[in-house]
Structure 1
C-alpha cells in the first residue's frame, strides 16, 4: 500500500506521514512549527485514503483553510489530491501531498520524501513509476467503459480532470438526492449561495449527445432540480435558474440549479460570470424544446465568444470594468 506524506512547501519541518484511515488533527504547534496565532491548534482534521491516493480535509478552526485558494469553510470537508495545494490558514503555510509505494526490495523506496525531493535520480524514478501506474489505471478504466457502454467512448482519458463529475456522483458526501434515474450533487466550486448539479446515471457526454428519446429524462431532471431549489433555506426570497452550459468544461451532461444572488467567493472572473448570465447558459425548457422539435440540441455558433462579453449586472444590466466592482454592485440586489 502507498504511504501518504504531508509536505510543507517551505521545508520548515519534515514531512508528516498520514496513516491510512487514521484521523490526524493539525494546526499551530511543534509538529507543524506554525506560530501564527490566527491558526488554531486544531485547525484541520485530515484522513488519508492511501489506496485511492486522496486525503479528506475538514476545517475545524475559525479562520479559513483553503485548497488551491478556495476556502473550505468551518465544518466543511473537501478532498485533497496530489497536485493541489492546501493552505493551513489565511492563504499561508502551504502544503502538498506525496504518495509513494513502500517496497522492502527497493532502495529508493526507503528514502523519505525530503530525500527524494533533493535527489534527481530518485525523483525521476519515482515519477516514472507513478506515470506507468497511472497509464495502467487509465487503460483499465477505458477497457471497462468500452465493454459496459454502448455509446461512443469519451475523448478524454478516464483520469482527466474533465471526468471529475463521474467521481463526485458516487461520493456520498457530495450527494444531496438520488433516485433510479438521477443524482443531485453540490457543486464543488459554487458560483452562488445555492448551486447544485443534476446528473443522469446514464452515461451521456454532453448536449450534442442528447436525442429525442432523452426528453423524459431531462423533464425528470428539471422536476428534481425545481424540487431541490424549493426545499433549500430562503427559497421564498431567492430566484433560481435551471439550465445547461453551451460548451461545458466537464464531461457528463449536467443541469445547473443556481440561485441568482451570485454571492460566492468562487465567482472570480468574467468567464464565470458570463457563463451564467448570457445566452451561454441555455434554459432547461429551451433544451427540452429543441429535442422535442428537432431531435437534437443546437448550440449557437460562436458560443465561446459569449464568455468574453462585457461585465453586466444580470438585474439592472449596468456595465462594470472589473469583477470586484460588479460583485460590489450586485449586493444591492441581494434579498435581505
Structure 2
C-alpha cells in the first residue's frame, strides 16, 4: 500500500479508533503537528475534498460532530483547536483535522509542514461546508497559489513574530505555552 494510502490502512484497524459511528471514525494523527492532533475520516472511500458534492453535506456535519466529540472526550477546550481540511492534501481519503493551536510537536519539522497548517492552505470546516453548500463542489487551487502559500515566511500563528528557520519558530512557540 502506497504511503499516501496509509490512512485507509489505519482506519481498517479498529484499535486505532478513538470514536466511531456508522459513517466515520476518529483516529490520532500518527505524525501529529501539535500536542493534540486527531483526524476524522469517513468510512466511505472519498479521495479528497475535491470529490465532495452536495450529497456529502450530512456526512460533513457528522465529521464535525465527531470533531467536537473528540475534544469533549479528551477533556479539551474546543476554542483551543482548529477544525480544518487541507487544500493540498498529501494523504488519500478526505479527512478533517482537529488540531490544537499550539503546534508544539517533534513531527513539525519543515517550512512546508508549518505553512500547510498555518496559511490559507488549511481551510476551516465552515468554509468547505459553505462552499459545498453554495457551489455544489470544491474548486481545486491553482498550483501557483499553493506554491506561493508554501513559500510564505515562517510567521507565528499567535503573534506577529517571524522566524528565520524552524528551530527558532519552535522555540518561540514553546514560549507561548509557558
Give the 5 Å matches for 1:10-89: none
Alpha carbons of 1:179 and 1:313: their partners in 2 closer, same or farther (altered >3 Å)?
A: same
SS at match of 1:169: helix
Using structure 1 for the length normalisation, give the TM-score. 0.51
Q: Which residue of 2 aligns with 1:314?
A: 157
Task: Point out the structure with the larger helix share.
Answer: 2
SS at match of 1:196: strand
Give the 5 Å matches for 1:54-133: none
Deviation for aligned residue 1:304: 3.5
Alignment partner of 1:286 is 2:137: no
Q: Which residue of 1 aligns with 2:105?
A: 264
Q: Which residue of 1 aligns with 2:32?
A: 190
1:244 to 76, 85, 89: 85
Contact 2:18–2:28 (8 Å) recurs in 1: yes
Deviation for aligned residue 1:285: 0.6
CA displacement, residues 123-159 of structure 1 (integer Å, 9 cap, x when unaligned)? xxxxxxxxxxxxxxxxxxxxxxxxxxxxxxxxxxxx2
Contact 1:241–1:258 (8 Å) recurs in 2: yes
Using structure 2 for the length normalisation, give the TM-score. 0.94
What is the distance in 2 between the residues matched to 1:177 and 1:304?
35
Point out the structure with max Rg over C-alpha. 1
2:18 to 165, 176, 190: 176
Deviation for aligned residue 1:305: 2.8
SS at match of 1:204: coil
Alpha carbons of 1:280 and 1:177: their partners in 2 closer, same or farther (altered >3 Å)?
A: same
CA displacement, residues 17-62 of structure 1 (integer Å, 9 cap, x when unaligned)? xxxxxxxxxxxxxxxxxxxxxxxxxxxxxxxxxxxxxxxxxxxxxx
Deviation for aligned residue 1:317: 2.6
CA displacement, residues 60-98 of structure 1 (integer Å, 9 cap, x when unaligned)? xxxxxxxxxxxxxxxxxxxxxxxxxxxxxxxxxxxxxxx
Question: How well do the aligned residues superpose, as a CA RMSD in angstroms?
Answer: 1.5
What is the distance in 1 between the residues matched to 2:53 and 2:26?
22
Q: Which residue of 2 aligns with 1:67?
A: none
Contact 2:81–2:101 (8 Å) recurs in 1: yes
Alignment partner of 1:164 is 2:6: yes
Structure 1 segments of 4 or more deviating over 3 A? none
Contact 1:247–1:304 (8 Å) recurs in 2: no
Alignment partner of 1:227 is 2:91: no
Q: Which residue of 2 aligns with 1:255?
A: 96
SS at match of 2:14: coil
SS at match of 1:227: helix
Contact 1:241–1:259 (8 Å) recurs in 2: yes
SS at match of 2:94: coil
Q: Which residue of 2 aligns with 1:276?
A: 117
Task: Point out the structure with the larger strand share.
Answer: 1
What is the distance in 2 between the residues matched to 1:310 and 1:174?
35
Q: Which residue of 2 aligns with 1:22?
A: none
CA displacement, residues 210-269 of structure 1 (integer Å, 9 cap, x when unaligned)? 001101100110111012123324x24971000111111111100000001111111111
What is the distance in 2 between the residues matched to 1:254 and 1:273?
18
